[in-house]
Amino acid sequence: MVAGFRHAGLDPHEQRVPGCGGANVLAKIRGDIDRYVLVGAHFDHLGRIGNDVFWGADDNAAAVAVLIEVGRALANEHSGRGAIIAAFDGEEPPHFMSDAMGSQEFVRTNKDVIDFMVCMDLVGHRFGPSLVPDEVGASLFALGSERSEGTYDLVTSLKRAEPGVIVRPADAEIVPPLSDYGAFWDRRIPFLFLSAGRSRVYHTPEDTPDKLDYPKIEATARWLTRFVRAARTRPPTRFIDRSLHRGTLDELAEVIGALAPFSPMAVGARRHIDELLRACDRNGDLPASHADAIASLVDGLEAHLQ
């Protein structure tokens, strides 16, 4: 990991993570001010369990590759805030969702200088099988843009900025905080979580490099470089408590609409989305009685496309 950072023109150092007995690998790119946008991805995986080797190509080597490429692109750029390129240890079990995670160790000692955090996990695969159209397969979901001022507008302005990936904003609460962004969310630091969700090979020995979508990975690196450049130079943004129900439903409607010619289930799902859109109030929020509806739609879509 250290060698990969150095090859990208970065100057890495290790931060010990006593809770998991490992270390984060961090590289700082200084800017005009001593404030930072952090770009992070975990580099640990399950390893060998019994006779099985869990390769972790999508979870999370693809994201680490994007991380290094973003670092390479930004290494000699010093306008605005600085950037921290962070490879986190201790994200997987038995440390998952505990204080032993590398991201928890980082934020305990560095939270006061971080203005924004981007986390990547499971970004290396096509969303769905090869037969689905690119409008579906190129999708990458961006959770949490609604939780800071101006971020949703920035993400939507770049949604189709790079051929090969479509970055779709979605409400942070459609899934629990299942990766390193949780440590930042807990401390009300603005964040964005990029993920294509779980594929059928998630946490299996079949998560191998031949199943990755390399053009999508390359497009994601280009997209994220654009986003981080903008985040480094925009005005300060504060954390806010806000939902993105209508915006999430609009993105799901696009995906499911593209699936309709291939799946009878998509027709029923689209009708359900239209009902939920009609139930949104003038602010785009669903009533409390519909609180779990979007998460259920996302779970069903993810399962259907595995």
**Each residue's pLDDT tens digit, 271-291:** 999 999 999 999 999 998 887
Nearest alpha carbon to residue 253 among 242, 269, 265: 269
Q: Write down the pLDDT at residue 306.
A: 75
Query: In whole angstroms, what is the distance from residue 306 CA to residue 304 CA?
Result: 6
Q: Write down the pLDDT at residue 299.
A: 87
Please state the rounded mean pLDDT for residues 15-32: 97
Tens digits of residue pLDDT in 76-124 = 999 999 999 999 999 999 999 999 999 999 999 999 999 999 999 999 9
Q: Write down the pLDDT at residue 302.
A: 84
Contact 294, 286 (CB under 8 A): yes
Residue 126 has pLDDT above 90, yes or no: yes
Please state the rounded mean pLDDT for residues 197-222: 96
Tens digits of residue pLDDT in 236-254 = 999 999 999 999 999 999 9
User: pLDDT above 70 covers what percent of the chain?
Assistant: 100
Residue 301 has pLDDT above 90, yes or no: no
Q: How far is CA 183 from CA 68, 96, 118, 190, 284, in A?
A: 22, 11, 12, 11, 28
Query: In whole angstroms, what is the distance from residue 90 CA to residue 101 CA?
Result: 5
Query: Residue 303 — pLDDT band, cuts 50, 70, 90?
Result: confident
Q: Write down the pLDDT at residue 136.
A: 95
Q: Write down the pLDDT at residue 260.
A: 84
Contact 31, 83 (CB under 8 A): yes
Residue 268 has pLDDT above 90, yes or no: no
Q: Among 26-40, 75-89, 205-219, 277-291, name the one with the lowest average pLDDT.
A: 277-291
Sheet architecture: strand order including 166-170? 12-17, 22-29, 82-88, 36-42, 114-120, 191-195, 139-143, 166-170
Give me the amino acid identity at 100. A
Instruction: Look up residue 293 and give its two tokens.
Output: 């509806």
Query: Residue 263 — pLDDT band, cuts 50, 70, 90?
Result: confident
Instruction: Look up residue 93 and give its two tokens.
Output: 């079990």
Q: Write down the pLDDT at residue 219.
A: 98
Residue 304 has pLDDT above 80, yes or no: no
Query: In whole angstroms, what is the distance from residue 266 CA to residue 301 CA?
Result: 9
Contact 42, 88 (CB under 8 A): yes
Residue with the bigger pLDDT between 172 and 178: it is 172
Q: Write down the pLDDT at residue 262.
A: 79
Tens digits of residue pLDDT in 139-156 = 999 999 999 999 999 999
Domain 2-242 is found in CATH 3.40.470.10: no
Cis peptide before 94 (omega within 30 of 0): yes
Residue 164 has pLDDT above 90, yes or no: yes
